[in-house]
């Protein structure tokens, strides 16, 4: 198998109460593993057989895109958390957020509003362009801002499997809680 489940830098119960152990075990251990397994079964014999994940997401469509997109999205998602997370970004990322939204609080408010407004299943992303300018994008299903020439920095999963066990239909509550576990050093490194 070419693509593998990334190793989590925390225990499956370490993000509680924001994300429960049961949700991590299902979302990471089952959902993400299924996307990876499907992708590994779909790419042999295609032009993507030896491609990296980002290339596949940029250039594919259909089932290959869906599974590659969800693999990339979830890899970024799960590696953006820490049980010691929270707070605010620092350095150049903080400067770019303040330049674009005026304050970190304004950015968070717009990000949660965008995530709540995604119809059905999808993602809300903080992304940057080649000049380092930031934007919030809403992507349906397996969408990723990489397909628009942007670099994904932080993505919140708004598929129901990401939050339903812990928050039922309260997507906005889930999104508001995720700020408590963001590993800003990981996000800053992507910037």
Q: Which two tokens stand for residue 88?
A: 């605010």
Break the chain into its structural domains and give their ranges. 21-78, 91-190
What CATH number is given for 21-78 in this structure? 1.10.287.990
Q: Do domains 21-78 and 91-190 have the same CATH topology?
A: no
Segments of the chain assigned E as strands = 122-128, 134-140, 151-157
Q: Compute CA distances 7 → 80, 81, 106, 135, whole Å.
A: 13, 13, 33, 29
Tens-digit pLDDT profile for residues 75-127:
999 999 999 999 999 999 999 999 999 999 999 999 999 999 999 999 999 99
> Is the predicted pLDDT of residue 1 greater than 90, yes or no?
no
d(CA 83, CA 64): 33
pTM across the whole model: 0.95
Summarised one tens digit per residue, pLDDT across range 134-146 is 999 999 999 999 9
Q: Fold for domain 91-190?
A: minor pseudopilin epsh fold (3.55.40)
2-20 mean pLDDT: 97
């Amino acid at each position: 198998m070419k693509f593998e489940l990334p190793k989590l830098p925390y225990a499956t119960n370490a993000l509680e109460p924001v994300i429960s152990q049961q949700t991590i075990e299902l979302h990471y251990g089952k959902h993400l593993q299924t996307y990876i397994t499907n992708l590994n079964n779909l790419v042999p014999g295609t032009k993507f057989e030896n491609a990296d994940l980002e290339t596949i997401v940029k250039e594919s469509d259909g089932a290959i895109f869906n599974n590659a997109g969800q693999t990339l999205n979830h890899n970024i998602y799960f590696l953006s958390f820490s049980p010691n997370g929270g707070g605010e970004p620092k350095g150049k990322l903080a400067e770019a957020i303040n330049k674009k939204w005026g304050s970190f609080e304004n950015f968070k408010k717009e990000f949660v509003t965008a995530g709540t407004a995604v119809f059905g299943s999808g993602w809300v992303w903080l992304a940057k362009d080649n000049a380092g300018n930031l934007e919030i994008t809403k992507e349906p299903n397996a969408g990723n801002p990489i397909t628009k020439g942007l670099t994904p920095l932080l993505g919140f999963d708004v598929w129901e499997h990401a939050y339903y066990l812990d928050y039922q239909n309260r997507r906005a509550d889930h999104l508001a809680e995720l700020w408590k576990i963001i590993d800003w050093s990981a996000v800053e490194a992507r910037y």
